[in-house]
Amino acid sequence: MIGFYRSAFLGDNVIAIRALYTLRKLYDCPIVIYTNAQGMQIFSRLNDGFDKTRGFICIDTETMSKQELLAHINAKQFDYFILTQPNRWRCKLLSASNAKCIISFATAANLLNPRIHKVFFSRAFSAIPYHKALLKLVRKIDPTRYDRAEIAYSHFSYPIDECAKARVLSALDNALAKASNLITMGDMPPQARVQAQDFARITTPIICLNPFVKSTRINLPLESYIAVAQELATHYPQMLIVLLHYKGAPTITLQSPMPNLLVFSNDDNLAHIIELLRLSCLLISPSTGTIHLADMLRINTIGIYNRKDSRLWLGESMQKEHLLLLEKPLEQMSKYEIATATQDLLALVKSLLPLPQKPQISPVKRVND
């Protein structure tokens, strides 16, 4: 039995999927994932891709005390336990457990701890991105077996949530039909939970913009995203431009509403964002969970990064030439620097898009219309 600890921000959880997929392909044994509420949403869907008897067991640690967590780990009697976040208290807790082999990154908290088998990785100096560093932890279990295996991650496809997909399609259809610029997923009525096949697949290209991030200050202001969205909606009337929003984030106010410009305000269900991204052809976002979701789905992205993050948090499907690199955090940028970066972003987006066409968008049509 293998234990895997990953309880972090959304993006940090998402980039662990490749390591988990590799574990599942290598070892035909129970794998228990210790995570948080967002991780429960992301990792539990992975079971759809495997036989029910070989699925992942997801444990929400947010409501557990340290004593309860230790008791749970001891009850499982793990042969191997991969600790991806080796801070002091987690290293101490795992060292006190009965796990036979504990694997983690080398840190000051565990460097002299003989119970922990260490993998060396430096966020400041290592040349590989973080999702590949997590694979080094997997390899540590059995390097020979890992090196001989031919695991094609390109075969991985994150399972579709048909219910969430249907709700997103219904929300888009209703907004376009009623010429509404705001979609609030938390207000969707229960009857919106219909089968996705009741709707024709959207053929209108969708571009999503995510203005919000908590984990870094490398970003542009909300006003820049709105300006880019409005410019794209004007020049590409055949495309649907969607600004992403979540409850509690600053309000997005559109000065010049257009029929092909929407604000998609999500509730706590991450599947709505995932299925919207799956329908999209491009996401523009800072380095945060949303861009890692798009990368997982192999959706084209334009990332707003700094040079360090362009190495550490570059996703498997991301391209470095599609990054807007900022030299300063937002609070240190002048108005001129923000304006210049906004124009650079717009130019980068336009360089990836086809020439504007005349056809206008129309509501999504039901198959039986």
- Provide the pLDDT for residue 367: 39
Tokens standing for 321?
């030439």
Under DSSP, the state recorded for 146 is H
| 169 has a pLDDT exceeding 60 | yes
CA 139 – CA 122 distance, rounded (Å): 17
CATH no., domain 162-352: 3.40.50
Scan for tokens 């499982």, then name that residue.
Answer: 76
Asked if residues 220 and 341 have their Cβ atoms less than 8 Å apart, the reply is yes
| 200 has a pLDDT exceeding 50 | no
CA 70 – CA 300 distance, rounded (Å): 41
pLDDT 10s digits, 129-155:
999 999 999 999 999 999 999 898 888
| 365 has a pLDDT exceeding 50 | no
Mean pLDDT calculated for residue range 85-95: 96
- Provide the pLDDT for residue 154: 85
Q: What does 160-224 look like in DSSP terms, one character per residue?
A: P-HHHHHHHHHHHHHHHHTT-SEEEGGG--GGG---GGGBPPP-S-EEEE----SS-S-S--HHH
Helix axes of 289-296 and 270-278: crossing angle, nearest 10 degrees: 50
Question: Which H or E run contains 22?
Answer: helix 17-26
CA 163 – CA 257 distance, rounded (Å): 29
Mean pLDDT calculated for residue range 88-105: 97
In the chain, domain spans:
2-155, 162-352
Mean pLDDT calculated for residue range 312-337: 96
CA 326 – CA 304 distance, rounded (Å): 7
Amino acid (one-letter) located at 281? C
pLDDT category, 203, cuts 50, 70, 90? Answer: low
CATH of 2-155, one of 3.40.50.2000, 1.10.1660.10, 2.60.200.30, 3.10.20.90: 3.40.50.2000
Scan for tokens 């991030």, then name that residue.
Answer: 213
Mean pLDDT calculated for residue range 2-18: 96
pTM for the whole thing?
Answer: 0.90
pLDDT 10s digits, 17-60:
999 999 999 999 999 999 999 999 999 999 875 555 567 999 99
CA 223 – CA 211 distance, rounded (Å): 9
Asked if residues 17 and 49 have their Cβ atoms less than 8 Å apart, the reply is no
